[in-house]
Chains A and B, each alone.
Chain A
Amino acid sequence: LPAFASRRPRYGGVLRMAVENADAALYRDPAESAAVGHLVYEKLLRFGEEDRLLPWLASDWSLANGPRREWAFRLRDALRFHDGSVCDAMAVATALQGAGLRCTARGSTEVLVSPETPVPLFRELAEARRSVRRTANQSSWGTGAFRVLPETPASDRHSTILRLAAFDAHWQGRPFVDEVQIVSAGVDPVFALEAGAADLARVPVQQAARVAERGARLWRSRPVELIVAETFGLSPEDRVAASLATDRESIQRAMLQGEGTPSASLLPDWMSGYGFLFPVAQQIPRAREHFHGRQQALKGIAVLATPDDPLLGTIASRLALDLGAAGLAVRVLRASASGAPGPSLRLRRVRLHSQQPAHALRQLSTELATPLAANLRSAQGVYEAERFLLAQAPVIPIAHLPDIYAVGPRLRSSTALPVDSLGRLHLDRLWLEKEGAAR
């Protein structure tokens, strides 16, 4: 059938993805990028949907025979690094040893790993930091479907963030597109998409509704990016009052155009299941009651707006208005990360790297430099840990945002949604229709 035939995967073409300037840092370094790192560097295991562990470079595993409790991971056949060298058991063991695991090679296809900590070994092996890579001469090669192209044409150097080329020797076979170019498109990546300069655009959430109105296809992750207001010089009680003063629902409805979720918790409700226990409704009278005697202590309080993040700038402005409604005289300062001399709030995005609440909380604990309560094994323990973390950390959660991508007419996917819950794009599942065949 002609219709069916037009949707058969096609190899070739350069996939251009436009991102906002503010998001460029998410893509610049694949070794550190949660968004595209998995396309270059792979692990023995990986998380699938619903946080299930799936075999990846290791095809299967078993307990090894021996005096020590070791797991033997059998590698897939024909694994190669991007520089063409063979990725055998020795190379994997070396890489994992470099990542801090105790492991040895057994033969060319088996890697023996001894767990040292109570942390579940299999989850560890699926973490990004346990990826298998070969490092030499200050270069690092992975085994993923794409390899990093170091050279960038001079004419594109100011706008090109990252170039990835299809890795022909990938164990799953080469991806469909020859090359992926991630380019910076100012503050309006959708314009690049609509102008035909890109096939895929990472859409700022505040623009998603309008883009959808214009008929563009959107791919959304679950809300995985937390927007928080970091506070400086505010007491815990001040933080609670500021949280009560914040009109999260208006922020979500108007500024986020209904995308994401208003949130007074650190973990999104879809992840923790208890997000509703952290009420998001604005309570100006209670906030005003608290701030009534605090004007002098909070004199000169400022909300710092990050100049290069328009969304955070708008939310900062709203936060200032809301605090003003609660009785504080608040200034909005266009300030860099250096902060302000007096009490202040600064908005910040925090990206979650795990779907597991406990793991996500650990990550937040690290990023917010606040220790966690110990017991995270039960759901109750996780809830209490989050309560504790929220009480201790100088932050006010505002909302959780999804990653949203607008899709050009030529772009096709071999799966229904090539963006997973954590916002990772599976560019290896995408292909480009021929010019003129898209419609």
Chain B
Amino acid sequence: MKAMSFSTRLLLLLSTTVLGTVALVTWAASESAAHSFDTLDAQRTTALVAQFRAEFARRGAEVAERAESIATSSEVLQVAVEANRPQPDYARFFGLAERLAATQRLPLVELVTADGTIISSAQWPARFGYQKEGFRAEPERTGTAVLTREALPDGHTLALLGKRPVTVGETTVWVLAGRPLNQEFLDTLVLPEGMRVLLVTASGADDAASGGLPNDDLTALLAPLRRGALLASRTVNIKGSEEQFNAIALHAGAEEFGGGELLGALLVGSSRAERNAMLARLRREGALFAGAGFLLALTISFWLARRVTRPLEELAAGARAVSAGHWETRVQVHSQDEVGQLAEDFNRMTAQLAEQRDRLVQSERVAAWRELARRLAHELKNPLFPLQITVENLQRARALASEGSSAQATAQFEEVFEESTSTLLAELANLKTIIGRFSDFARMPPPEMQRVEVNELLRESLRLFDAQFDANPEAPIRATLALDDAAGSIDADPELLRRALRNLLLNAIDAMPEGGEILVGSRRERDSVLLSVTDTGTGIAPEEAARLFTPYYTTRRHGTGLGLAIVQSVVADHKGRIRVSSEAGAGTTFILELPLTQQAGEDAH
């Protein structure tokens, strides 16, 4: 994975710090605001429920009073009198409940016999003669009204009902009078802004219209109440707007908030619009701050990165330039701090490096000249000594011939002369060869590139040495080719390449005086071809390997030290590389890596 840059890390660090801080502050502020809103909602709900209870009690007293008025009216007394007849006929009282309801301004008025038969009903006149569901002929406490559930033609409603007996003789007729606990009742409550109250029956089935509250939510809200809870809460989403509902259980009987059967619930809805708007505003502002902080972090990190990393980048570029051989590279010193100190040290280091390199080059140059001189002296001394001996022999033979003046002496002189001149010529030829080799190395021609079949070139080069491999039966050399068919052709000067291979093969033969094995191979890489020459000779010591390609360096007694230097020169001219691996006593392998095309070699370099 690519390492993250300093500026990126700096940006990340600053951004994370800023964003984290803003997020933390926003979260804390949101939580605090939400808590405040929730607390306020709870307080307002409590106040609303208290208001509801007060209104419930007030209306209950009013209903009880009006039910009492109905029960004591002469019309109801007539009904009670009729009830005492052996076969009472209540038909004429059919409309009585409606009239009483109108008089007392109570929407719910029913007259019921002791066995629950409806004599007259204001809210559902057609129920005349039917049984009143759930009716019990038991009086309620005087002056009170009870919470109950009343059947209406179009469903059920919660109702506040006064229940009064009217007894004449042995018979009792019951007056049930009251008013529904409906929206009209709720409208009398003073609601804080954003709050509303709803009433639902326990069945919930006919309450779908309750303020658009979805049935599923209503069921979920009522479920805890059915299990006996007195309060349940739920956040409901109605047409995209959140509302917090608190459901307060309403039970049958005088104590509407506990006791009898669960009849319904008072739902106190509190719009979360303001709360959510506040939270959304906080989040929005948080996001704005975060955005601004991010931009600030970006700017600061950019500025800091520029300030800190620019010298470092310059240093890195300088280091890269130095590694590429530009020893004179210097970086600008921008400051006096640690980075500035580092830049100064870098400059000092490169200056020292350049100085040392110059000294090294100079010393190497001197050493090379010394070596050259030593090699030249050594190479030239060898033939010069026989020359000197031969000339001295020739002088001595001439002196002997002149002293003897005899034909024999002359004949001996001639013989010595002939022998000496041939020796002189041979040594002079030897000298010439030595000089030619030095001259050849000095005059390495530039390569003339053409497409060359690598494997064919290897075969040809090896074939030249066939006779030499078999020359010494005592020390036979076996040559093996391990060629990669995919090696193909490369851009190369075939003559120079043959020369390099010849030198490598000669070295290999020289390394195996006792005979051995030579392995010549090729292998295709992605953009290059590898040529290898491996011998099973004596190998090269590590300290020798380091100087192997230095001109005039040789490990052999009679070598010029130019062979591998020539190989390296050829490979370098082909933009290739040469490697050597060797193990003392086990053999040596030279590997030439040559680019497929000179274009590829240039790219690689």
Contact = CB atoms under 8 A, between A and B. Distances in A.
Interface of A: 206, 209-210, 247, 250, 253-255, 257-258, 314-315, 317-318, 320-321, 325, 332
A254 B129 contact: yes
Contact of A206 (B95, B130, B153): B95
A317 B154 CA distance: 10
Contacts of B130: 321, 325
Given A253-B89, A254-B91, A257-B91, A332 B125 contact: no
B154 A321 contact: no
Contact of B127 (A209, A257, A321, A332): A321
Contacts of A320: 126, 153
Contact of B126 (A209, A257, A314): A314
Contacts of B95: 206, 210, 257
Nearest to B89: A253
Contacts of A254: 90-91, 94, 128-129
Interface residues of B, number: 15
B443 interface: no
Nearest to B127: A321
B129 A250 contact: yes
B494 to A, nearest CB: 102
Given A332-B153, A332-B154, A253 B91 contact: yes
Given A257-B95, A317-B124, A320-B126, 8 more contacts: A206-B95, A250-B129, A253-B91, A254-B128, A255-B94, A255-B125, A314-B125, A325-B130
Nearest to B94: A254
B125 A317 contact: yes
Contacts of B227: none
A210 B130 CA distance: 23
Contacts of A321: 126-127, 130
Interface in B154-191: 154
A289 to B, nearest CB: 20
A325 B126 CA distance: 13
B92 interface: yes
Interface in B107-137: 124-130
Interface in B562-601: none
27 contacts: A206-B94, A247-B129, A250-B91, A250-B129, A253-B91, A253-B94, A254-B90, A254-B94, A254-B128, A254-B129, A255-B125, A255-B128, A257-B91, A257-B92, A257-B95, A258-B92, A314-B125, A315-B126, A317-B124, A317-B153, A318-B126, A320-B153, A321-B126, A321-B130, A325-B130, A332-B153, A332-B154
Given A317-B153, A321-B130, A257 B94 contact: yes
Contacts of B126: 255, 314-315, 317-318, 320-321
Contacts of A210: 95
Contacts of B124: 317
A206 B95 CA distance: 9
A247 B129 CA distance: 10
B85 to A, nearest CB: 15
B191 to A, nearest CB: 31
Give the residue among B89, B128, B154 with the most A Cβ atoms within 10 A.
Answer: B128
A117 B91 CA distance: 50
A109 to B, nearest CB: 57
B128 A250 contact: yes
Contacts of A317: 124-126, 153
Nearest to A252: B91
Contacts of A258: 91-92
A3 to B, nearest CB: 34
Contacts of A314: 125-126
A321 B131 CA distance: 11
B356 to A, nearest CB: 106
A210 B94 CA distance: 11
**Which of B89, B91, B130, B154 counts the most A-chain CB atoms under 10 A from its CB?**
B91
A320 B91 CA distance: 19
Nearest to A318: B126
Contacts of B89: 253
Most B-side CB within 10 Å, residue of A253, A257, A315 = A253
Nearest to B90: A254
Contacts of A206: 94-95
A311 to B, nearest CB: 11
B111 to A, nearest CB: 12
Contacts of B127: 321
A246 to B, nearest CB: 12
Given A247-B129, A254-B128, A209 B153 contact: no
Contacts of B92: 209, 257-258
Interface in B71-94: 89-92, 94
Nearest to A315: B126
Contacts of A250: 91, 128-129
A209 B94 CA distance: 11
A209 B154 CA distance: 29
Nearest to B96: A210
A177 to B, nearest CB: 33
A324 B21 CA distance: 69
A338 to B, nearest CB: 19
Query: 4 closest pairs, A vs B, by CB?
Result: A317-B126, A253-B91, A318-B126, A254-B94
A254 B94 CA distance: 5
A315 B126 CA distance: 7
Contacts of B129: 247, 250, 254
A261 B124 CA distance: 23
A179 to B, nearest CB: 35
B74 to A, nearest CB: 13
A174 B90 CA distance: 48
B213 to A, nearest CB: 23
A204 to B, nearest CB: 11
A210 B128 CA distance: 18
Contacts of A255: 94, 125-126, 128
Contacts of A325: 130
A258 B124 CA distance: 20
Contacts of B90: 254
Interface string B89-106: 111101100000000000
A211 to B, nearest CB: 12
Contacts of A253: 89, 91, 94
Nearest to B99: A210
A247 to B, nearest CB: 7
Nearest to B124: A317
B409 to A, nearest CB: 159
A320 B153 CA distance: 9
Contacts of A247: 129
Contacts of A209: 92
A209 B128 CA distance: 17
B9 to A, nearest CB: 72
A304 to B, nearest CB: 13
A63 to B, nearest CB: 56
A325 B92 CA distance: 23
A45 B92 CA distance: 43
A377 B156 CA distance: 55
A206 B126 CA distance: 13
A162 B230 CA distance: 63
B116 to A, nearest CB: 15
B78 to A, nearest CB: 11
B17 to A, nearest CB: 67
Report which residue of A247, A250, A254, A258 has the largest number of chain B beta carbons within 10 angstroms of its beta carbon. A254
Interface in B134-159: 153-154
A253 to B, nearest CB: 4
Nearest to B130: A321
A36 to B, nearest CB: 29
